[in-house]
Amino acid sequence: MLTRHFVAGAACALALGLVSPLPALAQAPAPAPASAPAGEGDLQAAIAKSNAYTQLMNRTLRARESWQRYASWVDMKKGPTGKEMYISYGLYSLYDVTKEIQKAEQMAASEPKLPEIDAAMLRYIKAYQELAPLITKAERYYDRKDYRDDNMAEGQKLHTAMVPAAKTFLDERDKLDALMRVYKKGLDQRELAALEQREGRSARWQVRNVMIAARAVIDLMPSNQQPIVDLKAFDAATADYAKTVREMDAFKDKNPGASLMIESQAGTWLGKLRDFSDKLAKNKGDVRRGSAETANWIVRDYNMMISLADTAVRMQR
């Protein structure tokens, strides 16, 4: 059976100290069961495509972080002058994503065909490939302080090229991310149903069920772009998550020897979500009014649960 990581909401510390959760790295494929239920092959192909797309999105998140780093010290309208107080911040270097791009391009041409998502992925790759070389040049330029030799001539040239390229990249990423979130939700439910068909509501099913509900909460967490939380939706997602935690508790009570690994963290996380909701309610959902640090801790704890959940699933195979 091909499985996935439970979403690595790659949290990045932004200018406001908020979080921007994303779907996470996919885990390595596992052998399909000898007696896979009907339709299992289609599900595995869908998961493989999701994995490839998710891996690329995670690795290329670095480009957004690098651009935000740059934007934190540069006047975006005037461009760099060489006199900025925080010019030493420069930009972050990017990761090598050659293999991830090749894999995503292969998957875009493979079954299952997802016309809208596949096309969005190819546009995203193109946008990244136009921006990435510019960021790399700029990162080296500022790291080496080359602007001291040319009176910021290259810096201005790079800025002029990077601004439209970054806008296109960020726009394409937002579109792809929105499509992938919807796709992943449906895929999660298919995967959970297939798991239940194979082994019932087992320990592995319980872990998967909790983490799917946790991701639904993470998808509603604030970001620099959207600092105001939809409290009604957030509380509804938290209530759904609470139900999965209670179901896991009931399973644990009936199977005291079962190793779930996340039960303690899952319960503690629920308490933090409720405290966070209370804080947001006092500020009409605006995380900028004293809740940003709590938001970051929630995402960090979630990422820790992902690691534990992945270990639990591997141990239960």
Answer whether residue 65 is part of any domain.
Answer: yes
CATH number of the domain residue 131 falls in: 1.20.120
CB 22 within 8 A of CB 181: no
28 band by pLDDT with thresholds 50, 70 and 90 = very low
Answer whether residue 15 is part of any domain.
Answer: no
Mean pLDDT value across residues 216-233:
91
The encoded tokens of residue 37 equal 């239920």
What are 33-80's pLDDT values in tens digits? Answer: 334 444 578 899 999 999 999 999 999 999 999 999 999 999 999 999
Domain that holds residue 159: 32-200
* pTM across the whole model: 0.81
Residues 54, 185 within the same domain: yes
DSSP secondary structure of 121-173: HHHHHHHHHHHHHHHHHHHHHHHTTTHHHHTTHHHHHHHHHHHHHHHHHHHHH
Residues 189, 235 within the same domain: no
Phi first, then psi, for residue 286 (nearest 5°) are -85, 110
195 band by pLDDT with thresholds 50, 70 and 90 = very high
The encoded tokens of residue 30 equal 């596992």
CA–CA distance, 234 with 27 (Å, rounded to integer): 28
Is residue 210's pLDDT more than 90? yes
Return the closest-CA partner of residue 177 out of 61, 44, 301: 61
Residues 220, 274 within the same domain: yes
Last residue of a domain, one of 200, 225, 244: 200
- Neighbouring CB atoms inside 10 A of 199's CB total 13
The encoded tokens of residue 215 equal 């991701």
